[in-house]
Amino acid sequence: MPPSITSFSPHLFWDIKQGTLDPLKHRRLIVERVIQRGGLEDLALLQQVYKKEEIQDEIRKISWLNEKDQAFVHVYFDIPYKELKCYTKKPSARYY
């Protein structure tokens, strides 16, 4: 049986009422939070909840990741930079 969403570090979903997060409906939010703010334990849980291909698909759709997270997903999940929405989309002026 895969781990439940409550198994992730509590700080990842502090703003969401426990029990309301649907792993299918909110897959991108869950993947994004783990990649941006999670630890190694959270990453291991993520890979127990979703298949590698599902995680890769959601990562490709994330609008913003810092350079460190982009480099991590590029190497760890073997996703070319040009396939990352956050890499190909130019940030607004406020990020400069």
CA dist 59 and 45 (Å) reads: 16
Least Cα distance to 30 among 9, 75, 40 occurs for 9
> Do the beta carbons of residue 49 and residue 4 sit within 8 Å?
no
Provide the pLDDT for residue 9.
92
The full set of domain ranges for the chain reads 5-95
89 dihedral zone (left: phi>0; alpha: psi -120 to 50; beta)? beta
Other beta carbons within 10 angstroms of residue 49's beta carbon come to 19
pLDDT tens readout for residues 29-45: 999 999 999 999 999 99
What's the pLDDT tens digit per position in 2-33?
A: 667 788 998 999 898 877 888 889 999 999 99
Global pTM reads: 0.85
CA–CA separation, 64 and 66 (whole Å): 7
